[in-house]
Chains A and B, each alone.
Chain A
Amino acid sequence: MIRLSETARRALYAFLAALLLFGLGEWVRPGFIAPASVSAILTVAVFVGLVAAGQTFVILIGGIDLSVPWVLNAAAILLATSSLGENGRALSALALTLAMGLGVGLLNGIGIAFLGVPAVVMTLAMNGIMEGLTLGFSGGMTCEACASYAPPSIQSLAHGSWLGLPAALWLWLGVTLVVSFVLGATVFGRVTYAIGVNARASALAGVRVRAVTIGLYALSGFFAALAGVMLVGFGGQASLGMGEPFLFQSIAAVVIGGASILGGRGHYVGTVAGSIALVTLMSVLLAMNMPEFGRSIIYGVIILVLLLLYGREKGEA
């Protein structure tokens, strides 16, 4: 008998849930599991999965990143406005955008690790800061460059395909491999889990807790920005509020994927499964013509149920 760890079992459940949901979708609307439809669903899951990669990093140390909506939105707008839709400027715009995400995440980390601001408050405040800056600098999306499209090269990264699979999925596969390697086989990864289990003991053992914390939040900002780049490439143009759904979805993907929200346990593979299950559920609800408010209620209920199953604090009642 193979005995799976708790988190591995949860990741498996998430994959099974996704398969079940695909079956349900086919039952609701025949053609749901046609290759084109599945590929479209998985492409949407890539956006959630990228944001959730960053969220996984910070949740592993018992943190949270509430700043992803406007970091993502700012990244999408920054990419479009700095590239002006020209391929020649695509690379520098990409570097600028990802550096912005990394920098914002770095500030989050510094606020949390050095200034002692609770993660929820620091990242909530940062979300407001990025919202204000994005709205202010773009003049509420009235600026001349704001109507720019993403460069064709970025658009083909989101739309194109390679060896029969969407390019976005290849990117996600690469991210999954790298993130899993970093978490599973590097010192940085082991230290991340150690801080999540017990930050004080890690510090006493010589772990540079503050530096690692800053690094993790920087990564979260980076992945939110990367998702913003992919999203503007996918949609062509940026818009205000495009990041809003991703806060809830990224946290939901991590919870569905079985990582402990108290830190210390979880794998990115689980989050990948969680992203796919969540987006498949969204697609099934859409196929059932569920209005937006109904979906919003169902997401909340599902998260509560999963939290009750997975996320209970041990100890006295």
Chain B
Amino acid sequence: MAGRSRSPLAHALAREVGLVLVSVLLAAAVLLYVGIYLASQQRLPGSCELITTVNNTLPLIFAALAQALVVMTRGLDLSVGGMVDLTNALAAQYLGATPAHALAVAAGILLIGAVLGFLNGALVAWGRLQPILVTLATLSIFQGLAIWVLPQPGGSVPEFFSRWLANTTWPVGLLYTLAAALFWLAFRRTPLCIAVLAIGNDENAAAAHGISPVRTKLAAYTLGGTFSALAGLFLAATATAGDATTGNGYTLTSIVAVVLGGISLFGGRGSALGAILGAYVTTMIVNILFFAHIDPLYQAFYEGLFLVIAVVLAEGVGRLIRGRRAA
């Protein structure tokens, strides 16, 4: 076929095939959503729908970033939901009434997220344990702590805090999305990111080239924990109250977003931009199901189904392209 003499554009397309696919998927989902919306509401979705969609997606964007960092090291973090639970409960309980106080507490919550992530990383890297089992155990611990912090749903999130993070009149959420994307574009050029992808590809080879798997994993999980805490803060701001169990679902949906975003579950490949777009696709799927009058009780069914389909397609397309490159 195209062989070795491919144009630079074709080469870039092949390298970023995951990103291209998820962009096409998002465009298709948006078109389908607009179509169904138009059919059922007799008007086009406006800025209100845009703001709601962006605000609802933000917690998932940061949960997906957290998941992406761990997946890139060839791990999987089942405790993302527990970390979102715990930080969300802390936010609802302790943010307080004044902006200065809330800012200090929010910073403290991010720090706690970093500590939780570091704990996961330490057990995986120093303990040489399987990420799945470590994070299954810490999930149980974090969920328990979350209920300890906030036994009943409630607490309070100050109004200004919701205005900052989940403004309902201006789409500031787009700025946060942009910030998340810019973070990745900057992070991608750091030695840490290169180390993360290298140990995800082949831990022994990376170690032979002087990359420390222990330090890299510690950093990746710590950063992941911080992002999960950010997801917990955004969730609290969107919901304007806390609940020690609403975060549970983010374990599944963060994996869905990461897989839709073309990040390989076998580590070492992918772009967090894909995870951000994947998060939007996940929200659009929920929107489409809603306006297509599909019973929300079936939501988990569709999420699970799309996860399987996405993994199979991603592997299939990846194999096809790698096969062509090898030929």
Check if B136 sits within 8 Å of A251, measured CB to CB.
yes
User: How distant is the Cα of A171 from the Cα of B166 in the complex, in angstroms?
Assistant: 55
Q: Bits for B94-125, please: 1 = Cβ < 8 Å to A, else 0.
A: 00000000000000000000000000000100
Check if A132 sits within 8 Å of B265, measured CB to CB.
no
Q: Is B137 an interface residue (CB 8 A)?
A: yes
Q: Is A8 an interface residue (CB 8 A)?
A: no
Across the interface, A121 reaches (CB within 8 A) one of B128, B143, B147, B255, namely B255
Check if A307 sits within 8 Å of B304, measured CB to CB.
no
User: How distant is the Cα of A126 from the Cα of B147 in the complex, in angstroms?
Assistant: 27
Q: Name the B residues within 8 Å of A255 (CB-CB).
A: 133
Q: B309's closest neighbor in chain A, by CB?
A: A125
Q: Which of A135, A296, A299, A315 has the most CB of B within 10 A?
A: A296
Q: A262's closest neighbor in chain B, by CB?
A: B130
Interface residues of B in 260-277 (CB under 8 A from A): 265-266
Q: Name the B residues within 8 Å of A132 (CB-CB).
A: 297-304
Q: Give, as a whole number of angstroms, the nearest-CB distance from A10 to chain B.
A: 16
Check if B137 sits within 8 Å of A307, measured CB to CB.
yes
Check if A128 sits within 8 Å of B130, measured CB to CB.
no
Q: Name the A residues within 8 Å of B156 (CB-CB).
A: none
Check if B307 sits within 8 Å of A121, measured CB to CB.
yes
Q: Is B148 an interface residue (CB 8 A)?
A: yes
Q: Is A26 an interface residue (CB 8 A)?
A: no
Q: Name the B residues within 8 Å of A261 (CB-CB).
A: 130, 133
User: How distant is the Cα of A136 from the Cα of B315 in the complex, in angstroms?
Assistant: 30
Q: B149's closest neighbor in chain A, by CB?
A: A293
Q: Is B145 an interface residue (CB 8 A)?
A: yes
Check if A131 sits within 8 Å of B301, measured CB to CB.
yes
Check if B147 sits within 8 Å of A313, measured CB to CB.
no
Across the interface, B138 reaches (CB within 8 A) one of A122, A129, A135, A300, namely A300
Q: Is B144 an interface residue (CB 8 A)?
A: yes
Check if B136 sits within 8 Å of A293, measured CB to CB.
no
Q: Which of A111, A118, A127, A300 has the most CB of B within 10 A?
A: A300
Q: Name the A residues within 8 Å of B304 (CB-CB).
A: 124-132
Q: Which of B143, B252, B299, B304 has the most CB of A within 10 A?
A: B304
Given that A115-B312, A120-B76, A294-B144 are contacting pairs, would A136 and B297 also be in contact in the complex, using a CB cutoff of 8 Å?
yes
Across the interface, A128 reaches (CB within 8 A) one of B134, B141, B295, B303, namely B303
Q: Is A304 an interface residue (CB 8 A)?
A: yes
Q: B146's closest neighbor in chain A, by CB?
A: A293
Q: Which of A120, A127, A293 has the most CB of B within 10 A?
A: A293
Given that A128-B303, A293-B145, A312-B128 are contacting pairs, would A117 and B308 also be in contact in the complex, using a CB cutoff of 8 Å?
yes
Across the interface, B312 reaches (CB within 8 A) one of A64, A117, A128, A130, namely A117
Task: Describe A's contact surface by its main secondary structure.
Answer: helix
Interface residues of B in 129-166 (CB under 8 A from A): 129-130, 132-134, 136-141, 143-148, 151
Check if B295 sits within 8 Å of A136, measured CB to CB.
yes
Check if A300 sits within 8 Å of B307, measured CB to CB.
no
Q: Give, as a whole number of angstroms, the nearest-CB distance from B30 to chain A.
A: 24
Q: Name the A residues within 8 Å of B123 (CB-CB).
A: 304, 307-308
Q: Is B45 an interface residue (CB 8 A)?
A: no
User: How distant is the Cα of A312 from the Cα of B207 in the complex, in angstroms?
Assistant: 19
User: How distant is the Cα of A292 from the Cα of B266 in the complex, in angstroms?
Assistant: 36
User: How distant is the Cα of A304 from the Cα of B119 in the complex, in angstroms?
Assistant: 11
Q: Is B259 an interface residue (CB 8 A)?
A: yes
Given that A126-B304, A313-B128 are contacting pairs, would A297 and B311 also be in contact in the complex, using a CB cutoff of 8 Å?
no
Q: Name the B residues within 8 Å of A130 (CB-CB).
A: 304
Given that A132-B298, A136-B297 are contacting pairs, would A295 and B307 also be in contact in the complex, using a CB cutoff of 8 Å?
no
User: How distant is the Cα of A122 from the Cα of B265 in the complex, in angstroms?
Assistant: 12
User: How distant is the Cα of A289 from the Cα of B129 in the complex, in angstroms?
Assistant: 32
Q: Is B214 an interface residue (CB 8 A)?
A: yes
Q: Is A303 an interface residue (CB 8 A)?
A: yes
Check if B140 sits within 8 Å of A129, measured CB to CB.
no
Q: Give, as a whole number of angstroms, the nearest-CB distance from B308 to chain A.
A: 5
Q: B312's closest neighbor in chain A, by CB?
A: A115
Q: Name the A residues within 8 Å of B185 (CB-CB).
A: none
Q: Name the B residues within 8 Å of A304 (CB-CB).
A: 123, 134, 137-138
Q: A295's closest neighbor in chain B, by CB?
A: B144
Check if B307 sits within 8 Å of A317, measured CB to CB.
no
Q: Is B305 an interface residue (CB 8 A)?
A: yes
User: How distant is the Cα of A287 from the Cα of B172 in the complex, in angstroms?
Assistant: 51
Check if A313 sits within 8 Å of B138, measured CB to CB.
no
Check if A133 sits within 8 Å of B141, measured CB to CB.
no
Q: Bits for A34-67, please: 1 = Cβ < 8 Å to B, else 0.
A: 0000000000000000000000000000001000
Q: Name the B residues within 8 Å of A116 (CB-CB).
A: 312, 315
Given that A120-B76, A124-B255, A129-B305 are contacting pairs, would A313 and B140 also be in contact in the complex, using a CB cutoff of 8 Å?
no
A residues at B contact (CB < 8 Å): 64, 111, 115-118, 120-122, 124-133, 135-136, 139-140, 248, 251, 255, 261-262, 292-297, 299-301, 303-304, 307-308, 311-313, 315-317
7 contacts between A and B (CB under 8 A): A115-B312, A117-B308, A122-B311, A125-B305, A129-B305, A136-B295, A251-B133
Q: A251-B136, A307-B133 are in contact. List 13 more A-B contacts (CB 8 A).
A: A118-B265, A124-B251, A124-B307, A128-B300, A132-B303, A135-B298, A251-B133, A292-B144, A294-B144, A307-B134, A308-B127, A313-B129, A316-B204
